[in-house]
Structure 1
Amino acid sequence: RAIAGLCAEAVGCMRVLTDATVEYCKTRKQFGQPIGNFQVLQHRMVDMFMECEQSLSMTYMVNLKLDEGEAERVKAASSAKAQIGKSGRFVGQQAVQLHGGMGMTDELNVGHYFKRLTMIDSQFGNVDYHLRRFAAAS
C-alpha cells in the first residue's frame, strides 16, 4: 500500500514537471521565437508526457492489485516501482535540461520536484531492487 501511495505522489510530481516545462518552453524566447517551436524540444516534451502516462497506468494497476494474492501484489508493486523510478529520473532530468540553468535554482520548483523524485526512487527499494524482486516473483 505504501508503494501505491508513493507511485501516486511520483506521478503528481512528474505531471507538475511536465506542465511547468511545457509552459516554460512556450514563454522562453531564443532566436526571436519561443523555444517550444523547435521540433527537437517538442519531441522531448512528448517523451516526458509519455513517461508520465506510462507511470500513471502502472499506478492504476498497482492500486487495482492491492486486494489480490501476495504474489500478484509483489509483482504489481515491483513493476510499478521500477517504472516510476525510470520515468521519474527521465522526466526530472529533461525538465532540468529544458529549463537550463534556471532548472536547479531555488526560484523554480523544478529542482525541488526532481530531488523528490530521486528520493522516491530510493524509498522502499530502487529500480534495480524491484527488477530483481519482480524476476524472483515471476
Structure 2
Amino acid sequence: MTNDILVVGAISAEVRAAVTGVVKDLEEAFNAHDAIALSEQFALEASWTNAVGRRLDSREAIAEFSGPALKGFLRDAYARYDVVKLLEVVPGVIAVNVRQIPTDSSGTPVEGPRGVTSYVIAQQRDGWKIVVGQNSAVDALPAD
C-alpha cells in the first residue's frame, strides 16, 4: 500500500488505519486465495460489483462466488492494492479509491490487467467493513 493517500475530510489517524487495514486484509485474502477471509472484509448486507460486472449481494454471495473463482480462473492471480484517496462521506462512512496492480506471488509487479476500485467502508458492529464496492478492470492506470 502506498503512503501517498489524498485524505478529504476530518478523518482521524485511527479511522485511516482501520479503513486502510480493511483494504490490506482484502489484498492479503485475495493473494492467499482465501474466499472466506476475503468475504469477511464485507458487511453482511454488502453489495459488490466485480470486474466483469457481476453484482453480488451479501457477504455469503461474495464468498460463494469467490471460492470457485479464487481456486479456478484466479488461482494464479496476485495483486497489490494501493489506497489513493479517502473521503469522509459522514462520520463512520468513508469512500475509498484503490488502484490494483497485478503482481507475481512474491509481490513484484507484472504485466496484466489493472483495476480501479471504489469502496464505501462503514463502521459496523463487527468493525469497519465494505458495504458497497465497484471493481473496474482497466488497460492502464490513469494519472491523477
Calculate the TM-score normalised by the size of structure 2: 0.30
Whose strand fraction is larger, Structure 1's or Structure 2's? 2
Which has the greater radius of gyration?
1
Calculate the TM-score normalised by the size of structure 1: 0.31
